[in-house]
Amino acid sequence: MQATEPQDSAGAAAPIPGRPDDGAVRRARLAVLACFLIQGASFAVLVTRVPAIQDRYGLGDGGLTLVLSLVPIIAGLGSAAAEKLAARYGSHHVLRIAQPVVCASVIGVGAGDQVWQLAAVLVLFGLALGAVDATMNMQAVGIQARQGRSVMNGFHAAWSLGGIAGAGLATFADHKEIALVVMYAISAAITAPAAFLIGRRYLPTRPERPAVDAPGAAAAVPWRTILPLCAVMTFVYIGDSAVSSWGAVYAEDVQHMDDNTALPYLVYMVTALVGRSIGDLGVRRWGALPVVRAGALTAAAGFAVVVAAPGAAVALAGFTVLGLGICVLVPQTFAAGAATSPHDPDTAIARLNLFNYAGFLIGTPLVGVVGDLAGFRAAMALPLVLVLAVLPLARAFAPQGEAGHGNSRETVRDR
């Protein structure tokens, strides 16, 4: 929960007893950056070894799709649970407990040999994943509010960097034929203790239990105030899933890149890292609204190039442009959600996070069906249209007509 920061007679913020000082906020920012990096790496080491997981458990394509669909569904439940737990205990406590579970649970994926065992581990992984995705963004928007300037893109850049590192580790292990359980054990041995230790530096939150338990508290953040942002989150993740789930198929079936099918997703991830690394500078200079519009137009241009590409080189250029544009939309959606609900940003963040998983659940099968029926050029045109639909929704990123959110220290809140 948040309370407006008291002002002294000169208009400056008066100190609040027990509130983290600037040094503690800087340390919290470094800890949350590490948290995002660890989360990206932990997710990547799992998803980039899906073919090996399929072989280990003897799953057909249909069975694999069914089992993997558990993850976003259960993660949605984890995000909903995190909303309640963070309100009662604080997002910092929930995050410190949940992230080591994400890091360690991947060992079970490599250790089992029965489908029910895989499903049980993925349920645990999914619950913890949803809780971490929600609470780490709660922490990030809290730090942004305390620092009074845009830093959300930087946190998500750390996630992208972790994803690249995790994918690199998984690719190396596959090349060296390292056993799945050994590779996951190495990953967990590095990430789980680190996740627990950095948790001591998270930004403490001060939940107000009477407000949470009071009648009508659930309506403190009306859904209607964040529905445009929920739509943006869904559209963006449909676009992201089109690249992550079907980019390799497009490369092989349309562009005949038989030996380089990972290149579309690789260039997409690299340029997403670059875009997020510089995205905060754009928000500070021009505000969130122009950055979101520019990101949506750039992403649409990237999809257009992918759809029309006559050859592999042009297609890769399209994926490069696509990553550069789409990467800023998710961080700014979380930031806008917090600004839209300044008295209860954690609830808004947890609810927005649900549409991350909704976009993936909708996007992966939808693009696949269109690809089967009309080819993967047509399939890539679907997220192109949806990314363009972000433009009429962009006013939600500046509901009072301001250029952006969280750029001024006058908006700083106590968390």
Going by pLDDT thresholds of 50, 70 and 90, the confidence category of residue 68 is confident
The rounded percent of the chain whose pLDDT value lies above 70 is 87
The rounded percent of the chain whose pLDDT value lies above 90 is 65
251 CA to centre of own chain:
25
Q: Is the pLDDT of residue 49 over 90?
A: no
- pLDDT at residue 232, rounded to an integer: 96
What secondary structure letter does DSSP report for 240?
A: H
- The number of C-alpha atoms within 13 Å of 213 and in the hemisphere containing its C-beta is 6
- Contact, 406 vs 339, CB < 8 A? yes
Going by pLDDT thresholds of 50, 70 and 90, the confidence category of residue 343 is confident
CA distance 109 to 120: 9
End-to-end Cα separation, the chain, in angstroms: 6
Q: Where are the alpha helices (DSSP H) in 148-222?
A: 152-175, 180-198, 209-213
- pLDDT at residue 399, rounded to an integer: 57
CA distance 5 to 415: 10
| Angle at the Cα of 413 from the Cα atoms of 408 and 415, rounded to 5 degrees | 140
Q: Is the pLDDT of residue 402 over 70?
A: no
Q: What residues does CATH 1.20.1250.20 cover in the chain?
A: 18-209, 221-401
The CATH class, in words, for 221-401 is: mainly alpha
For domain 18-209, give the CATH number. 1.20.1250.20
Q: Is the pLDDT of residue 217 over 70?
A: no
Element (H, E) at 413: strand 413-414
**Cα dihedral 304, 309, 313, 315 sign:** positive
CA distance 227 to 231: 6
- Phi-psi category of residue 205: left, alpha or beta, with phi > 0 → left and psi -120 to 50 → alpha: beta
